Structure formats: C-alpha cells, structure tokens
Amino acid sequence: PCTIREMAALNVSLQLWDIQQQKRLRNMTSHSSRVGSLSWNSYILSSGARTGHIHHHDVRVAEHHVATLAGHTQEVCGLKWSPDGRYLASGGNDNLVNVWPCAQGDSGDFAPVQTFTQHQGAVKAVAWCPWQSNVLATGGGTSDRHIRIWNVCSGTCLNAVDAHSQVCSILWSTNYKEFISGHGFAHNQLVVWKYPTMAKVTELKGHTARVLNLTMSPDGSIVASAAADETLRLWRCFEMDPVKKKEKAVCFYRV
C-alpha cells in the first residue's frame, strides 16, 4: 500500500509525507495563495488554490509544476480525478463545475471539455461514479443545496435532488449502487441515496458541525466522516451481509 500522503498548507506550499516513517519527503511551492483542494492521478498531484488556478505537479521530478489550468474566477474548493484518469473535475466558489481533460489541446493549453453552470452556490462536493466513468456527482453550498448527476460526455444533467442543506461531500458505494452525502447547515447530517432514482434511503446524525470529508473502507462497508466539530466518526453504512444492511446504519466509533 502507498505510504505517501499529501498536505496542503496555508503558506501556499504542498508537502509530501511518508506516513509510516513520519518523514517529510519534499516541499513544493507554485501557488501564490492558499491551497484548499488536492487530487492524485498516478504521479501527478493536482492542487486547487484560492486564486482559482489549478496546478499539476509531477512528483517524480525537481521542476514539479508542469501545467496550470485557469477556469475559475474564485477559489477552487473541490477537485477530483476520475477513476480512469481521463478527466479532472473542479468545483469553485464561483458556483462553476469544470471538467478538464488529462492532456493538452492542439493549442498546447488546457481547456475544459464541459462547464456546468446550474449550481447557485459554491461547489465543494465532487465525486465520480466508480462503475460509470462518465458520470459525475456534484453538490452545491448553502444557497444551492442541490445534488446533481452529470454525463460529462454529453454535458447533460441526468438527475438532481434538493438536499435541503449545504452539500459538503459525496461518496459512492459500489456495493449497493448508492451514494452518501455529507452536509452542513442546518443539520450536519449524512444522507444515503439510491442511484439513479435519487430516493433517500436514510439519514445519519451525530456531527454538530458540517461534514467536510468522507472516505470508504477498503471493503466498501464502512464510511469515515470528518467534520468541522473536530471529530472523526465511523459508520457501518454498506454492510456486505444483506440482513445487516436492513438494520439502520449507526455510528460505532468516534474520535
């Protein structure tokens, strides 16, 4: 397993750490303002900054800054490479969602292949469907509160649902063909949704501030949520045993 982790710092630099040895491997600087979002694609680490710029870093070489993507007018607060490495999705405080190709165009510049303008709030939550590589889920902030599902090839919105609260994070479950969203104002809850019907399965409550990030256990059965209340909670959301899945998901560990 990979032991290298990235860290975005308020002093505009990126740090790579070996978490087993607790050792910093390198420090990379290219942005002129804070870095708020990161995403890996093989040896390329992409970073989104407050200026609205996205930088690609080749972590193998000394001159790591290899490309700049300019498509947002405000901070890039969501960033995620697709599982197949073909596309990079970015969400911004300008309410835009951009979908970028992995390679430069004929002019030598990077330009979005799609720009989605339907959100009415900042877009921090971006998540690619693991079993449909052209499907992207995005979630809007307090003034929008919608989750939208996109086909990035055709540029169409496949579905949308009003989540009735700020959408901060989204995570797909391959086991059950569902996804889970993390929310902020007003209830700071997690919600499990059926896909593609967008029917609400259940709500999970416990956090007292907005849910900033979600991640899945290797077997796909447990979701970890990190929130602004400075707690990390583990939820048995997607049990492999269908009998256990029928029981309401609960938080079984908190730190």
pLDDT tier at 103 (50, 70, 90 boundaries)? confident
Residue 47 has pLDDT above 70, yes or no: yes
Percent of the chain with pLDDT over 90: 84
Binned at pLDDT 50, 70 and 90, residue 249 comes out as low
Count other C-beta atoms under 10 Å from residue 116's C-beta. 22
74-254 sits in which CATH class?
Answer: mainly beta
The CA distance from 150 to 183, in Å, is: 20
Work out the pLDDT band at 254, boundaries 50, 70, 90. Answer: confident
Domain spans of the chain, in order of start: 74-254
Model-wide pTM > 0.85: yes
pLDDT at 109: 82
Nearest CA to 237 out of 179, 188, 189 is that of 179
